Chains A and B, each alone.
Chain A
Amino acid sequence: MELISSVISLTFLAQVLRLMTPYYLGASGANFSERGGVINIAIEGFMNLAAFSFVLFSILTGNVTAGFICAVLINLLFSLFFSYFTVKLKINQIVTGVGFNLLIAGLTKFLLVYIFNSSSNTERFEGIPDLEIFKGIPFAGTVLSDYMTIFCFALIFISGFVLFRTKYGLRLRSAGENPYAAESLGVNVRLYKLSGILISGFLSSLAGIWLASNQNSYSDGMIAGRGYIALAAMIIGKWKPVNIFFACLIFSAFEALEITLQISGTDFPTQLIQMLPYLITVLVLVGFIGKTKPPAADGVPY
């Protein structure tokens, strides 16, 4: 009973909206890449890399802004690297993505031990400070205290606008739907694909930074499949910014439920509670109606 009342509350809703942030950033990023025809499984690795480099450089320089900039730049560098494989060399995008994820997972594990002398986590640090303007307003104050959550709300409109209302968006989508037709009309398909991947690298770096900043440290395996869940949200959202947002809310709602359950100290086994987000992802993928319809040339090297 207590549990139900704690779920139906404004605090819970605020929690859901806050936890939506990394999912939506990752899913929107992946969407830009896939609209340009490149499946980006490496979102998971990019989030991981950004989280690690954000913590590393924040601690090294003692300055969160410097950490932020370094993390974004490193992610852009790896995105460039990723596009060299997928766009320039036209290697299978999924295999490349998994390769990147494994490399980045290894790299962060190694550097964690090498630099911080720990196989599990870094020391604590002060994350990005809260936004103070809306402080004191109930509900809105909690949700809007986070820069990136606010950015997410804006991103729903920005990405919708960019994809469907600008020349850039039209050309990006044409590269993902029919690259040959696009090229024959003078669109530089490869350049557009590259731009989609760079945007996905940028947005996923924000997701990683958010996670590390909220946890005030980096720990091994902290991304815990959120990048893949973001991809699932993108699929369920049918590659449309608004739908993706609602799909992300489903997943963040279950993550919030998971946290609430763990705090409430029910007899329910912890392992099964921790399993919840992943189980829900699979169930939603099985349950939602109709076969998915990605951009026509999604995943096809050009």
Chain B
Amino acid sequence: MNTKFRINLISISLSLISTLLIVFVFLLILNKNPFEIFSVIFTEVFASGYGIGQTLFKATPLIICGCGLAVCFHASLFNIGAEGQLNAGSFVIALVALKAGSLPFPILFILCIVCGFVVSGITGIIPAYIKIKKGVSEVITTIMLNFIILALVNYFLVDFFAVKATMHTEKIADSNMLMKFSDIFPFFEGSSLNMSFVIALLLAFASYIFIYKTKFGYKLRAAGFNETASRYIGININKVILLSFFTGAGITSLAGINYIFGYKGFYEMGFSSNVGFTAIAVALLARNNPLGIIFSSLLFAVLDYGGLSVNQLVPKEIMLVVQGIIILSILAVDRIVKSYFEKRGIA
């Protein structure tokens, strides 16, 4: 276990270093000064409480969504439908928060979470069912469902629930909003960081326990590791696929809390800005370990917020390129490092 952990650490650091090098060269090709860009990112993020607060704020949905994906990935279910799943759930969370706004806050909050979780979970059940019944890869169905869900949410939003001439729902009551960090710590003055961040951290710990310390988590990892062997020892693979897809997709819905309860107070079309896809890179970088996901989310949040600050020097879309390079370098470096140690009989 200890050697495995060390090898993982080595390969993660090497893949980050190689990403950095590739991005460096890429920037040089574009005739930009990489040192200038990295120093702008660094000062913008770490020089003020506002920068740190905004970075943690951006990390929140990534942690939540990354944990949801980790559940699926551990079961070898390559769910790339998080973007759709989280939008379905978040939309419902906003509606419930609006319609049941008169309930006492704790009850309202729990009700919203449960409703969002179930709705997102159901959108996860669909690809699981098709996989079980027809053997069709979940990758295709989850991508198709992304398009379907976003179109449906768009339809219901625009035709029934949106405030006129906008793409968002009505704002929930101020008394139902989560507390901002800046209310307690003036250090974070002006940033949108709110209690959702604490919820995200708790969720990461809960996911860690769920995946590594419970009986179902064991079955889930076993099924993902070796399906045939797991079937042989009596694990019901179909049930594992259904439940892990339901749980994983359900968790992603909570990513909406940060925006709805912590920031704007309403659901808005496009609020998620591809968190569902970025979370794939987040989860992969952390080897699907929820505690690691906290750190990889922070890294991606730095890139995201930092990307905005260097937009003057180089288009912020550069961060999407960085994400892609990170994913591919993790995959390649991990394989190379592992085979290096295997050859020496260490792992």
Contacts and interface: CB of A to CB of B under 8 A. Distances in A.
Contacts of A99: 324, 327-328, 331
B324 A114 contact: no
Contact of A107 (B143, B324, B331, B336): B324
A95 B144 contact: no
A90 B325 CA distance: 18
B144 A106 contact: no
Query: What 8 A-B pairs come out closest when comparing CB atoms?
Result: A103-B324, A106-B320, A275-B151, A113-B315, A99-B327, A271-B155, A110-B317, A278-B147
Interface of B: 30, 78, 80, 126, 130, 133-137, 139-141, 143-145, 147-148, 151-152, 154-155, 158-159, 277, 280-281, 284, 314-315, 317-325, 327-328, 331-332, 335-336
Interface of A: prevailing SS: helix
B148 A278 contact: yes
B152 A95 contact: no
A279 B321 contact: no
A291 B135 contact: yes
A285 B72 CA distance: 21
Given A98-B280, A269-B155, A285-B130, A109 B136 contact: no
A75 interface: no
B151 A274 contact: yes
Interface in A248-273: 269, 271-272
Interface of B: prevailing SS: helix
A102 interface: yes
A96 B328 CA distance: 7
Given A285-B130, A291-B135, A269 B141 contact: no
Interface string A59-97: 000000000000000000000000001000111101111
Contacts, number: 136
A154 interface: no
B145 A282 contact: yes
B134 A286 contact: yes
Contact of A225 (B143, B314, B319, B328): B143
Contacts of A281: 140, 144
Contact of B318 (A90, A105, A110): A110
Size bin of chain A's contact surface? 35 or more
A103 B248 CA distance: 24
Interface stretch (A13-21, A166-174, A228-236): A228-236
Nearest to B322: A106
26 contacts: A85-B331, A89-B335, A90-B335, A94-B137, A95-B78, A96-B331, A98-B139, A98-B327, A102-B327, A106-B317, A106-B319, A107-B324, A113-B315, A113-B317, A114-B315, A225-B143, A271-B151, A278-B145, A278-B147, A278-B148, A279-B148, A281-B140, A282-B126, A282-B148, A292-B135, A292-B136
